[in-house]
Chains A and B, each alone.
Chain A
């Protein structure tokens, strides 16, 4: 069975946010993504489907909130929690 390291997922997430969503601007894990004005609602939706595919988790609408999607760090924490929940 193929078992990718979570680190690889996080790396892919950083890469996706910086290259695809922010057109090459670099951001730290703690930087507020949605206040920058550079990500529109289409961007949020592509971010959500990227998270679903990369981490192989489902992201229900009610979880697409500022607490969960605000920064790269909160997204990583959210994905980890969802993965754990699935493992239980």
Chain B
């Protein structure tokens, strides 16, 4: 594996050494490393002409594809910081994120550019759908490269946190490369791999799709947005593109199991199926595994602040379809501890020290003070730990098990209840596929999807055998499907909306 000093260096390296190797495939149209590199240079030249300086924050708002990937590399190449925003977000949400980031420029595809037209002057807006003129970068770039460092910010990912106020999570080239090197080694990526790019760029899992792929000189198989909504087309694309490494939220895999026509697909090329971002229902994974005979299955865990930092690995024999999946062991270069006490607690908040950890939240000193703490590591050396806010415990075999979110613990009539534990109990019922639990007007309300003809009385009796009586939901509703956020996670705000509508009805 090559050892680049900055995140954007890998593409240029492969463009020199294997110029004709495929870097990108979009529905079968292949772009070589040499062509990708030239496109990056053309966009970078345009950015230099517009006066982009090292450290400038630059919004990237576009559908996935060659231009999107070239544009984010171009931003990095001129020393900028890319800030990917959700191309499907409503204008108001984008405006809120823009006010936190205060970007100098916006790169967007034509349909998205209008979202920014009122707020930015024309010279600050760059339409990446255009054909960029040929550029000779050597002179223009020559004086800029020595002034760049691995400690420079590389990308900022926006999250909305519990309060709804946007937060910018700042990663440097150093933290981004630490993640990239770890994950590429973990998956033993080679230049022969064809790696899915399912995740939108504003979600941290896309760091794998883009940077791990290019670090390895492999081919990034772009999955256009429309395919992520059509499971039968998605599975077809995976077959046609001979994807060898799959990485997505569990939802994409669940959809393929339920409506992906997998019986008609040949997915023998898959050697790794990795998922993250949410809890994977064990039954769905087992069903999917039957169609991926040559794959190993990886449950990756990590908040956006650290990215993927623990992994559980499964073979077909490990998947019994009922045991909840652990989040596994810390990866190379990741130190974990449970709780802040000198003696590690058996159950408590997961703390992480690693080069992968973000440099901090953008312009938010209070948040940063709360997010980090300094504690001794295993050898007694003081280290800075990031507080994940996730509650974990250690299984007997040493694997970590995710119990729930610290902020998902509620108090009801004096009882402490982990909403995530209630969800887990629901998902463990054979007839239930997915479940989400909310606290609504002082009561626990559950939403679930599952097989047709689910017997709610039976589910309730099941729950009463595993949960304390005060944690059994007072209401369980079956949905045809769960509402989703743009990143594919269950949208709990929308569930509260459904509960409100039910009350009004």
Contacts and interface: CB of A to CB of B under 8 A. Distances in A.
Interface size class of B (residues with CB under 8 A): 20 to 34
A53 to B, nearest CB: 14
Given A35-B63, A35-B224, A41 B261 contact: no
A63 to B, nearest CB: 7
Interface residues of A, number: 22
A64 B260 CA distance: 9
Interface string B485-497: 0100000000000
B348 interface: no
Interface string B73-91: 0000000000000011000
Contacts of B230: 34, 44, 64-66, 69
A61 B484 contact: no
Interface string B209-249: 00000000000000011111111110010000000000000
A61 B226 contact: no
A37 B264 contact: no
B232 A42 contact: no
A41 B225 contact: no
A67 B233 CA distance: 9
Contacts of B63: 35, 37
Given A37-B88, A40-B484, A66 B226 contact: yes
Given A38-B88, A61-B259, A66 B483 contact: no
Interface in A60-76: 61-67, 69-70
A36 B236 CA distance: 21
Interface in B466-488: 480-481, 483-484, 486
B480 A45 contact: yes
Contacts of A65: 230, 232-233, 236
A6 B374 CA distance: 70
A64 B259 contact: yes
A39 interface: yes
A32 to B, nearest CB: 8
Contacts of B264: 62
Contacts of B255: 41
Contacts of A43: 229
Nearest to A39: B229
Given A37-B63, A61-B260, A42 B483 contact: yes
Contacts of A69: 230
Interface of B: 63, 87-88, 111, 224-233, 236, 255, 258-261, 264, 480-481, 483-484, 486
> Which 5 residue pairs of A and B lie closest in terms of their CB atoms, listed nearest first?
A34-B226, A62-B261, A37-B88, A61-B259, A65-B233
Interface of A: 32, 34-45, 61-67, 69-70
5 contacts: A42-B484, A44-B229, A61-B259, A64-B259, A66-B233
